[in-house]
């Protein structure tokens, strides 16, 4: 059972480049979410989804897009990377359509934007 | 003002000590999560609770709904407990996180 799989683990981008962070879960979880973690700050919600076809913005959505075409996948797109997006990104999922159950986290993606 | 606040930010203990980490949260939080982030960066859920108390091994989590306060206790602490402990509150469809408590347990 793979759980929550994030790829890549590390990425270096130049300012203005685009990329997609992948997140997949094999537990048939309804709720999926993306967070960024910066030094001295708690994890902050970027976008979340309560089920396939439904997404919504979190606390810090600017510069990021998401889609949820299947239950399993929840990719995070950076359309034009900026140095302020240098961070560690975590994807998480849980069983119900709201974070009222144990959360399962991916291993994280460490992103540097030069 | 953050919806979820943790204390202390840093905590150093000697092996065997009883440890308490505190979390206060605001109105609108319906459930409280405790997470552990390993030195390597991985995050693991420890507990999710909306009332009462939960125990798993040497870890105990309690919540007082009236006071909007939760505590994570570690009994007989061990160096392998060294990690960042994070509380997070569920509000609607969102999780809001505290800044974390860096725990170091010395042998």
Could you tell me the pLDDT band of residue A97, with boundaries at 50, 70 and 90? low
Q: Write out the two tokens for A20.
A: 């997609």
B103 shares contact with chain A (CB less than 8 Å): no
Predicted confidence (pLDDT) per residue in B63-75, tens digit: 999 999 999 999 9
Among B48, B96, B98, the residue with its CB nearest the CB of A101 is B48
CA-CA distances (angstroms) from residue A68 to A19, A33, A55, A76, B43? Answer: 17, 11, 7, 10, 23
The verdict on a CB contact (< 8 Å) between A105 and B44 is yes
Task: Give the residue-averaged pLDDT of B71-99.
Answer: 94
B2 shares contact with chain A (CB less than 8 Å): yes
The verdict on a CB contact (< 8 Å) between B93 and A31 is yes
Task: Give the residue-averaged pLDDT of A72-90.
Answer: 97
Predicted confidence (pLDDT) per residue in A22-59, tens digit: 999 999 999 999 999 998 888 999 999 999 999 999 99
Q: Exposure of B86 by Cβ count < 10 A (0-12 exposed, 13-18 middle, 19+ buried)?
A: buried
Answer yes or no: is pLDDT of A1 > 80.
no
> What stretches of B3-98 adopt beta strand conformation (E)?
4-7, 10-14, 19-25, 31-37, 43-49, 53-56, 59-64, 69-74, 83-91, 94-97
B41 shares contact with chain A (CB less than 8 Å): yes
How many Cα atoms occupy the beta-carbon half-sphere of A77 within 13 Å? 7
A68-72, A94-98, B11-15: segment of lowest average pLDDT: A94-98
The verdict on a CB contact (< 8 Å) between B33 and A41 is no
Answer yes or no: is pLDDT of A98 > 80.
no
Could you tell me the pLDDT band of residue B40, with boundaries at 50, 70 and 90? confident
B98 shares contact with chain A (CB less than 8 Å): yes
B49 shares contact with chain A (CB less than 8 Å): no
Give the pLDDT of residue A12: 97
Sheet holding B19-25, edge to edge: B4-7, B19-25, B69-74, B59-64, B53-56
């Amino acid at each position: 059972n793979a759980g929550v799989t994030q790829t890549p683990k590390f990425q270096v981008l130049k300012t203005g480049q685009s990329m997609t962070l992948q997140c997949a879960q094999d537990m048939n979880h309804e709720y999926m979410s993306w967070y960024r973690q910066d030094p001295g700050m708690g994890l902050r919600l970027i976008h979340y989804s309560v089920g396939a076809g439904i997404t919504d913005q979190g606390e810090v959505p600017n510069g990021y897009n998401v889609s949820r075409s299947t239950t399993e996948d929840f990719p995070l797109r950076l359309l034009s990377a900026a140095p302020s997006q240098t961070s560690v990104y975590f994807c998480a999922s849980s069983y119900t359509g709201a974070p009222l159950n144990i959360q399962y986290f991916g291993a994280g993606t460490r992103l540097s934007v030069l | 003002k953050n919806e979820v606040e943790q204390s202390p930010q840093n905590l150093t203990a000697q092996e065997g000590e009883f440890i308490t980490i505190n979390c206060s949260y605001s109105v609108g939080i319906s459930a409280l999560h405790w997470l552990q982030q390993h030195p390597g960066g991985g995050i693991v859920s420890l507990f999710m609770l909306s009332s009462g108390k939960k125990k798993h091994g040497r870890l105990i989590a309690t919540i007082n709904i009236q006071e909007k306060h939760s505590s994570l206790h570690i009994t007989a602490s061990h160096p392998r407990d060294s990690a960042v402990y994070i509380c997070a509150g569920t509000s609607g469809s969102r999780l809001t996180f505290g800044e974390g408590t860096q725990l170091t347990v010395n042998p």
